[in-house]
Amino acid sequence: MCGIVGYVGTREAYPVLVKGLHRLEYRGYDSAGVALISDGGELKIYKSRGKVAELERFAESKDVSGNIGIAHTRWATHGEPSDANAHPHYSESRTLAIIHNGIIENYSVLKKALEVNGYTFRSDTDTEVIVQLIEYIRDVSGCSLPEAVRQALRELVGAYAIAIIEKGDRGRIIAARKSSPLVVGVGEGEFFLASDAGPIAEYTDRVVYLGDGEIAEISLEAGLRVVDVAGNETPIDIEQLQMSISELEKGGYPHFMLKEIFEQPKTIVDAVRGRINVEETNVALSGVTDNRERFVEARRIIIVACGTSWHAALIGEYMIEEMCRIPVEVEYASEFRYRDPVTGPGDVVIAMSQSGETADTLAAVELARSRGAFIFGICNVVGSSIARATDSGAYIHVGPEIGVASTKAFTGQVTVLMMLALAIGRLKGSIREEFYLDGIRHLCRLPEQMAEILGRADAVADLAKIFTYARNFIYLGRGYSYPAALEGALKLKEISYIHAEGYPAAEMKHGPIALVDSEMPVVVIATTDRIYEKTISNIREIKARGGRIIAIVDTDDVTVREIADHVIEIPRTCEHLAPVLASVPLQLLAYYIAVYKGRDVDQPRNLAKSVTVE
């Protein structure tokens, strides 16, 4: 969702800002804009509906000189996508420019009050209210800009990450955040600002993650100064960024999604690195060992998540209940946060989030914390808001995921959940040694097995051709494979816009089987597990009604192969990890169908990578 970039230093700001916006395109947006202060001190704003490329075309004939600027990609919340609603926004006197991520809930009250005081509004956005309010406070009280920003923020209800520049001031950006991320890059005589580290990584590896409620004065003359909304100065913690530029580029692949699918043998290695010993006899997650009692004595584990992360969480529920004998509940974060859940001391709440910025998951964390639960994060983005809001956690370490459709994060999440379940199970003594060692062995084999599946990607591409024009799909699985079926359906929906439903295979006869006819492709995950025979019966039920079966089977499968119309083979693993392997051909199937349909695979319509509004 919305992206922020800022620069102040000695370089030409415009190319840095535009490149940064391109790096943030993956977040999802519908308009883009930039504000610059020219060498003569003029404040100029250029913005347009559509892609960053359109902004570039629009600005081609304009004066884009200057060494300071802020830039934005907007994902519409208040007001339709339009040139007028695109950020940046001017203040009334056109001396201030602002960009904003998030939602200001009390904006209409503030807007009315400002209108009474003679302020006019040029857009339908909540953002314009912030910059007008700042100007109003400064004009009335005569205080400095940072002080006016601080006072204005105290009036706001909602979430924000903002950046402001002022006409005539070529050396300073004011930035602030609450429930929406902001990172400051510290270079030699220059500063960068962005919603995530992507736009900063090629210039400096020294970053400061602004904390919630913090306001930063980024000044070439005075350096970086951070205060909280009460005005107290807060210490600056410069961290070393671990991100390479190659991770942010397509590396020869036509899409980030395909690159990320093919990266999975490596990302699984990264996820287990340092956690499983070379002898493959021990798995240790420091977040678990350091909080041993919390897990061993947990009366319950609740996993809060959204979307793909919620699907991974469901697999986690099956694993933890089976291996640790602790009751587990998986909750949509958006429901959990508003339904007065029973939770408190003795509960472990696991927040599962690739981006670590999902607004609902963050709010669920805050609610659970306020009720005394122990919060454990499973995130990908290091230093993200959720990672920072938890008591402890385990990163999945799969590197930046840029394709909007989550792929390597899902397999990384399930891998970490398996390690977590094995580690807690051993601490509790609830799993046999043989089972434990077997689980570790299977984890260690995943990368080579994934590489084997990816080696047969062409066969999936051929299959995708056959089904490109299907109007509906059903995805089925049972046990550990049921969440993988949900995930397969979600992948297809979001990038190809084909309607798809995921179901537990046995549920079909309770209603959805009525949908089945010869036009209906049914993807079934039918790998060998404790209910393999039952799954075969479900396949026969669909086949008997004319459904076209695409089955994911073990390489040595005999029975399903005879019934299915098409099979995709995957190497045999334990039933807990079968969803990790099965999800790879499902990702490829969705990817190729979307490509054949000419869809914008990396930036599907209406979607945002990082959902920072509720």
Which residues of this chain interact with ligand F6R, rule CB under 6 A? 306-309, 353-355, 358, 361, 405-406, 490, 494, 611
The values of phi and psi at residue 389, to 5°, are -90, -5
Beta carbon nearer to ligand F6R, 128 or 401: 401
- Cα separation of the two ends of the chain: 11
Beta carbon nearer to ligand F6R, 153 or 330: 330
The two tokens of residue 235 are 């210490």
Non-local (6+) Cβ contacts of 313 within 8 A are 303, 304, 305, 330, 350, 352, 413, 417
Q: How far is the CB of 358 from ligand F6R (least distance, A)?
A: 3
Beta carbon nearer to ligand F6R, 285 or 611: 611
Beta carbon nearer to ligand F6R, 306 or 513: 306
Half-sphere exposure (Cβ direction) of 297: Cα atoms closer than 13 Å:
8
Integer Cα distance of 482 and 311 in angstroms? 9
Beta carbon nearer to ligand F6R, 21 or 405: 405
Non-local (6+) Cβ contacts of 142 within 8 A are none
Integer Cα distance of 40 and 550 in angstroms? 65
The two tokens of residue 548 are 């076209």
Q: How far is the CB of 355 from ligand F6R (least distance, A)?
A: 3
Count the residues in the chain: 614
3-state secondary structure of 544: coil
Beta carbon nearer to ligand F6R, 101 or 358: 358
Beta carbon nearer to ligand F6R, 67 or 385: 385
Residues forming beta bridges with residue 330, ordered by sequence position? 303
CB 195, CB 210: distance < 8 Å: no
Beta carbon nearer to ligand F6R, 1 or 70: 1
3-state secondary structure of 411: helix
- Whole-angstrom CA distances from 299 to 296, 321, 336 are 9, 12, 18
Q: Which of 2, 306, 324, 379 is catalytic?
A: 2
Q: How far is the CB of 305 from ligand F6R (least distance, A)?
A: 6
The values of phi and psi at residue 179, to 5°, are 60, 20
Angle between helices 127-141 and 145-155 (to 10 degrees): 120
Residues forming beta bridges with residue 378, ordered by sequence position? 352
Residue with tokens 């519409």: 76
Catalytic residue flag (residue 47): no
DSSP output for 198-264: TTTTTT-SEEEEPPTTEEEEEETTTEEEEEETT--B-----EE----GGGGS-TT-SSHHHHHHHTH
3-state secondary structure of 100: strand
Distance of CA 432 to the CA centre of its chain: 36
Beta carbon nearer to ligand F6R, 410 or 532: 410
Integer Cα distance of 53 and 32 in angstroms? 9
Half-sphere exposure (Cβ direction) of 185: Cα atoms closer than 13 Å:
29
Catalytic residue flag (residue 609): yes
Non-local (6+) Cβ contacts of 507 within 8 A are none
The residue number with the shortest CB distance to ligand F6R is 307
Residues acting as catalytic residues: 2, 609
